[in-house]
Every structure is written in structure tokens, then in C-alpha cells.
Amino acid sequence: MLPLRDDIPSQRFPGLTVAIIAVNVAVFLFEVMQGPQIERFLYIWGFVPERYTDSRIASFFTLRQQAAPFLTSMFLHGGWMHLIGNMWILWIFGDNVEDRLGRLGFLGLYLVGGCVATLLHLITNAHSPLPTIGASGAVAAVMGAYFRLYPRARVHTVIPPFVWGPVFELPAVVFLGCWFLLQFFSGTLSLVNSSEHVGGVAWWAHIGGFAFGLIVALFLRAEQPRRPRRRPQRDEGW
């Protein structure tokens, strides 16, 4: 399922959401500029579980060097499609969550959620020698918060292979619930058929981020039981 937008307009300009997107794009451009040094760059700034579970490897790094990838890895991406996919989801769901949490709270949700996601990836892939990168865990935390805060929202979605239509209006709980179940079943399957030297999707990072965002939102009052205001008519077509 490919989300196009939700039907709840933000109450104010989502400045922090836009800033996070801009930082991710800037970091990716810097990443691309590394050229032949890109592999070394990703092994230093990406999150490599083996660096933390193998004492021989860990001894080569300082505490600061070990802590940094928890943050830096969530601003790195494996390609343009990886970047665009994460930033598009953040754009759709981030503005409303930023409205509810405020900019400082939203920043905390995003960064801490990303770190929690990385920690769960470490637990479930303890001996992987591959660098894990991407904002997916942090974005999943935003999705988890949205799931709780805006259960009555509707997400305009296209379902492959019908990429150009028709457009379905799915309740947010259905869209995000299906997304989470896909991550959970895929993550469970990855544990059964695990391979330390094969790359892929960090399913458990997604699960950890979503669960963190949901738990944070449980401490906030959910939206009032009314149908969300739709965006102005002129926006309905994109």
C-alpha cells in the first residue's frame, strides 16, 4: 500500500518536520559525495551490531564513537528511493503528530524513537557485521503515535499494482495496523530464517519504533470522537 496523504490538515506549518526532512536530504548528499570512501563512511557512522557484541571489535572504539551511530545512523540512507520513501511517510504523518506534541516533544519522539528502534535491532541481530542505516525506526515512532492520536483519520492510498489508481480511503487504524502486522510477521520470519551475513530490512527496528511511539501517545489524550476536518476541496486531487 502506498499512502498519498491523510485527511487532517495541520494546524500550523510543520516546521520541525520540514527541518528533519531537510537534514536527511543534506546528510544523504554528503553521503553520496564520499565516493570510493562510502563503505568506510557507513561502517563508521552506520550502526553495526557486531561493534557492540564482539569485545575484540568494541575495544577499538571509544564510548563516544560507540554512542554516535545510535543517532547518526538514522540520518543515513541506502539510496534515493530509501530516502524518499522514509521522508514521504514522515511528511504525511509527521505534521499532525508535531501539532499534538509540539516541536520539542516531536523532536524527542523522533530521536528517542529512532534510538529505541536501533536498540531492538541490536538485540535481534546481535552479531550482524552489516551497517544498518535509515530513518525508518524514527519514522515508525511517528506512525505509532499517529495510530493512537488520530484513529479516525483516513489515509488516501493506492494499492499496487494499481499505482495510478483507484485511490482508496482507508481508516488510519487499518492502514497503520496492516503496516505493523507486516513488520511483525516479517520480523518473526527473519528470526526463524536468520543469516548474519545477509542484508535486508530491519524489521525489528520498525517494530520497536512503532511500539515506542504508541506507548508515548498512550500518555496523551486521543482526539475527540468526531470526524476529522477534510482538507480544502482544491487539495483533493493530488
Structural Rg of the chain based on CA atoms: 18
pLDDT value at residue 89: 96
Mean pLDDT of the chain: 87
Question: How far is residue 64's CA from residue 222's CA, in Å, rounded to a whole number?
Answer: 38
Question: Would you state the cell numbers that stand for residue 19, as one nine-digit string?
Answer: 527541518
Name the strand (E) or helix (H) holding 6.
strand 2-6
Q: How far apart are CA 137 and CA 212, in angstroms?
A: 10
Any idea which architecture 2-235 has in CATH?
Up-down Bundle (1.20)
pLDDT at 164 over 80: no
Grid cell digits, residue 48: 553495526
Percentage of the residues of the chain whose pLDDT score is greater than 90 = 71
Torsion angle, alpha carbons of 71, 74, 78, 81, to 10:
-160
In the chain, where are the structural domains located?
2-235
What's the pLDDT tens digit per position in 30-47? 999 999 999 999 999 999
- pLDDT the model gives residue 194: 57
Mean pLDDT of 142-159: 93
pLDDT band, very low/low/confident/very high, at 177 (cuts 50, 70, 90) = very high
Note the pLDDT of residue 104: 95
Compute the average pLDDT of residues 148-159: 90
What pLDDT was estimated at residue 228? 47
For residue 95 the three cell numbers come to 505534521
The Cα–Cα gap between 144 and 149 comes to: 9
Global pTM? 0.87
Contact 6, 227 (CB under 8 A): no
Using DSSP, state whether 37 is helix, strand or coil. Answer: helix
Asked if the model's pLDDT at residue 238 lies above 70, the reply is no
CA dihedral 68, 85, 81, 130 (to 10 degrees): 40
Q: Could you give the CA distance from residue 89 to residue 80 in angstroms, rounded to a whole number?
A: 14
- The cell for 104 is 520539542
Q: Which residues contact 130 (CB under 8 A, 6 or more apart)?
A: 48, 197, 199
